[in-house]
Amino acid sequence: MTEREGKIAVVLCAVLEDEIGAEAEASPRVGPIVRLEQGLHNEPDRLRRELQAVIDRLEEEHPEVGAIALGYGLCSRGTEGVRTRRALLVVPRAHDCITLLLGDRRRYAEYVARHPGTYWYSPGWNRHHVPPGPERHRLLREEYVRKYGEDNADYLMEMEQGWFRTYDRATYVHQGPGFREEDVEYTRRCAEWLGWQCDIQVGSPRLIRMLLNGDWDGEEFLVLQPGQTLRMTADDRVIEVRCED
């Protein structure tokens, strides 16, 4: 059995569990699925360690798996350095999960070029992470008061709000799975509270479907042979094979 004939194992970020889960049900090639917690991209070294541990375990425990597909992009460079020993490793050419939600990295690039101050919301982001808005403000201030006292909390909150001033738009993107009107209203309330514009984008399952069906077009995915790993590029390919010294 070749890698192209074997099962595809999937390692995904919890932010994409609805979208990948929906497409996995329709794909006969999908084997074991492992979900990692949201937020690991904030600690790239930890993301790299956890991804590698899961890859090693999948290869050891599932000989039927011929390829391991990552439901991740470059993700703060946390996917750099991971590798397989015998299976293919397939990684979307994407900086982060928003490309997978929109279904096209060019669509993502064009949107951000038009609206550079965009903060993204989605079914998974809204569920696994408290995005900018009144709820985040309240929870964070309570935490700062508990840890550092009232005066220091006020200063830290000013710093937090200063960071948000680099944004001016809240964009909610969904593909259908996990969609809730409450999330749209929540995003609108956050945008209003922050003084931002609000936008709703209907994404596409195109890239996720290709990833799970083994349709690994070189324009959209990097397919790594056993032992190979990836690195970031300075062009719109996003990632490439890293040549060993």
Phi, psi of 144 (to 5 degrees): -65, -40
- The tokens describing 102, both together, are 């929109």
What is d(CA 161, CA 175) in angstroms, rounded to the nearest whole number? 30
Write down the pLDDT at residue 110: 97
Place of tokens 């590798």: 83
What is d(CA 192, CA 183) in angstroms, rounded to the nearest whole number? 14
Strand residues in 74-228 grouped as ranges (E) = 88-92, 118-121, 169-174, 197-202, 221-224
Write down the pLDDT at residue 141: 80
Write down the pLDDT at residue 52: 98
Segments in the chain below pLDDT 50 = 1-3
Q: What is the DSSP string of 156-182?
A: HHHHHHHHHTT--EEEEEE-STT--HH
Write down the pLDDT at residue 245: 54
- Among candidates 103, 87, 100, which has minimal Cα distance to 32? 87
Write down the pLDDT at residue 131: 87
- Among candidates 44, 37, 120, which has minimal Cα distance to 76? 44
What is d(CA 126, CA 104) in angstroms, rounded to the nearest whole number? 22
Residue ranges of domains in the chain: 7-100+205-241, 103-202
Average of per-residue pLDDT values in the chain = 93
Give the predicted TM-score (pTM) of the model: 0.90
